[in-house]
Structure formats: structure tokens, C-alpha cells
A and B are shown apart, each in its own frame.
Chain A
Amino acid sequence: MKSAVVLVPGLNRDRDMIAALTKVSGHAPATLWQTETTLPEGLDLIVIPGGFSFGDYLRCGAIAARMPVMRAVADAAKRGVTVLGVCNGFQILVEAGMLPGALMRNTSLKFVCREVKLQVANANTAFTRQYAPNQIIRCPVAHHDGNYFAEPEELARLEGEGQVVFRYAEGTNPNGSINDIAGIMNASGNVLGLMPHPENLIESAHGGDDGRGIFESVLAKAA
């Protein structure tokens, strides 16, 4: 699998993501600096990691979403390249208009850093085929603005089309997200954004490997 990780000032989960991609796929990902306008040939996966791009100024992800590299990522997504955004990466995808809705301040107004339970709400996607339908997995979260919001019509469409991929389960919704939404994909099914951090639960040294299935699903598709 040929992958790449987007780098923008203020992102801080890039190393974890690079380590996870290297461990799961056996190949180190390329890195894409924010000013790049052309991407390496033959990419199977582009990942936008978590962090606090541009200090979360204006709105989380708003400024990173307008950087040149994101135009290249959007073009690649239109060509069918798989794109994954985690945490701030999810916020960047939403701000870039590559995913619908918005991510707002947690209803608790507190930064949450803990483990939650996720339900695999759609196991028939490029990102979740290694999981069973409705499987409950563990996953860490760490964010201040993960409260997903979409207009009622948009929300109904997302639910109806199976674009809600992950939902907080067993009462662990940490942020007030509508319909307990933790992760959504685009209509074409090749762009996924999620607030939790699967890259931090991929091996026994992490205390579990529940997050590994996302990377293995993408790897299986690329193979």
C-alpha cells in the first residue's frame, strides 16, 4: 500500500500516524507538506492526522483546509484515492467541504481525553470491511471540538445512505455529537473522517489493537 500523510503546522499526531501506517502496511508513508500542489503517483491512501493545525485559529481546521495541499488532496479524492482524516484531520475535511456538516465545541466545553466505545455502524466500506456489522470496538479520543452537527435533511441523508460509519456506543458519547456520530464518509465512500484515534490502538503495546482494522481494511482494498 502506498500512503501519504499530510503535514501542516500544529498537527501533532503525524508521528503516531506514520508509525501506525508503517507497522500495518510494512511501508513508510510519504509526507506531504502544506505547500505541495502535486502528489506522488499511485497513492492508495492519504491521511490527514490529528493535532491543532494553525493553533485552531478561526475554527478548527479552517485555515489548514485552505492550504494548497488540500486542493491536491481534494482532486485526488475526486479521482477515487482513499482519504482518511482523524480528529483535526476530520475537522479539516469538513472545513474543506470534502465531508458534510460541521464539528463544534464539545457540549461539556471540556477537552476530552479518554477511551470510548465505537459501534461500526457500516461495516461495508473501504475502511471497515475487517470489522463485523455493529461490532463494538474500543478507541481513544482526545479533542475539544468533536461535536458533529448537520442540518436535519443532511443528517437524514447521511443516515439513509449508510454514510455514518462509526457511532459512539454504550453511552460513551464524549462531546454531544448528534446521533452519537463519531465518523462519517462521503457519498462516494472513499473519504472518511472520524474524531477517535485508531492509530493509537493498533498493537498489544497500546493495550489493544481494535483500531487496526481500519488500516487493514484500506490495505486489503489496495492489495
Chain B
Amino acid sequence: MIKARVTVTLKNGVLDPQGKAIEGALGTLGFSGVAGVRQGKVFDLEVEGTDSAKAEADIKQMCERLLANTVIENYSISMS
């Protein structure tokens, strides 16, 4: 089994109202000096097989076609 982690984040320049709300809440808790918060998503995938290169290529397609909306989001893949 091949394991991989996909991280999806909002592109720079795309407003993240949820991140802003979290940033505000951190300030309310007394954490001063938080200059910015961007919320993202993490997907942990288990892919059958042993061909890591093929799995990574497949996961890239999964990101392009479903896991990320590339209009507003970037993604990164980390194979473990």
C-alpha cells in the first residue's frame, strides 16, 4: 500500500473569510501577533500497488479533477 498526503490551500489573492474569522478568534484568545491565517484541507490517501511513480501521477490527476478546484486552490502531494 502506498500512502500519500495531499494538501489543498487557497491561492494567494483569493480572499479567505474563514481564515480571517479564525485569525480574529485567535486574537480574542489573546494570541497577539498572528499576522495571517489561511485555512486549507488535508487528504490522506492509501493507494493499492507498489509503483510509487504511477500512484503519484494518478494522485495528480485526482487533484486536478476533484480534490482541488484549481480556479481558486493550489495543491501539493507528499508521498510517504
User: Which one of A66, A104, A107, A109 lies within 8 Å of B66 (CB-CB)?
Assistant: A66
Stretch of B15-23, B28-36, B44-52, B53-61 contacting A (4+ beta carbons < 8 Å): B15-23
Chain B residues with CB below 8 A from A58, complex form: 66-67
User: Which one of B65, B66, B72 lies within 8 Å of A149 (CB-CB)?
Assistant: B72
State whether B71 touches A109 (Cβ < 8 A): no
Cα A104 to Cα B69 in complex, Å, equals 11
- 1/0 contact trace for A134-164 toward B, CB 8 Å? 0000000000000101110000000000000
Chain A residues with CB below 8 A from B65, complex form: 66
State whether B17 touches A102 (Cβ < 8 A): no
CB within 8 Å of B: which A38-66 residues: 58-59, 62, 66
Cα A106 to Cα B66 in complex, Å, equals 22
User: Which one of B18, B21, B69 lies within 8 Å of A102 (CB-CB)?
Assistant: B69
State whether A109 touches B21 (Cβ < 8 A): yes
Is B14's CB within 8 Å of the partner chain A? yes
Chain A residues with CB below 8 A from B15, complex form: 104, 107, 147, 149, 176
Residue among B14, B18, B65, B69 having the largest count of chain A Cβ atoms under 10 Å: B69
User: Which one of A100, A105, A151 lies within 8 Å of B18 (CB-CB)?
Assistant: A105
State whether B72 touches A62 (Cβ < 8 A): no
Chain A residues with CB below 8 A from B66, complex form: 58, 62, 66
Q: When A and B form their complex, what is the total count of cross-chain residue pairs whose Cβ atoms lie within 8 Å?
A: 36
Is A95's CB within 8 Å of the partner chain B? yes
State whether B17 touches A176 (Cβ < 8 A): yes
State whether B69 touches A106 (Cβ < 8 A): no
State whether B69 touches A62 (Cβ < 8 A): yes
Cα A108 to Cα B15 in complex, Å, equals 12
Cα A102 to Cα B66 in complex, Å, equals 14
Is A189's CB within 8 Å of the partner chain B? no
A104-B14, A104-B15, A149-B14 given; A95·B69 CB < 8 A: yes
State whether B17 touches A107 (Cβ < 8 A): yes
What residue of chain A has the Cβ atom nearest to residue B72's Cβ?
Answer: A102
State whether A106 touches B72 (Cβ < 8 A): no
State whether B17 touches A105 (Cβ < 8 A): yes
State whether B14 touches A109 (Cβ < 8 A): no
Cα A155 to Cα B77 in complex, Å, equals 30
- Chain A residues proximal to chain B, CB less than 8 Å: 58-59, 62, 66, 95, 100-102, 104-109, 147, 149-151, 176
**10 A-B Cβ contacts within 8 A?**
A58-B66, A62-B66, A66-B65, A66-B66, A101-B71, A102-B71, A105-B17, A106-B17, A109-B18, A149-B71
- Chain B residues proximal to chain A, CB less than 8 Å: 14-15, 17-18, 21, 65-67, 69, 71-72
**14 more A-B contacts (CB under 8 A) besides A105-B17, A107-B15, A108-B17?**
A59-B69, A66-B66, A95-B69, A102-B69, A104-B14, A104-B72, A106-B17, A109-B17, A109-B18, A109-B21, A149-B15, A149-B72, A151-B71, A176-B15
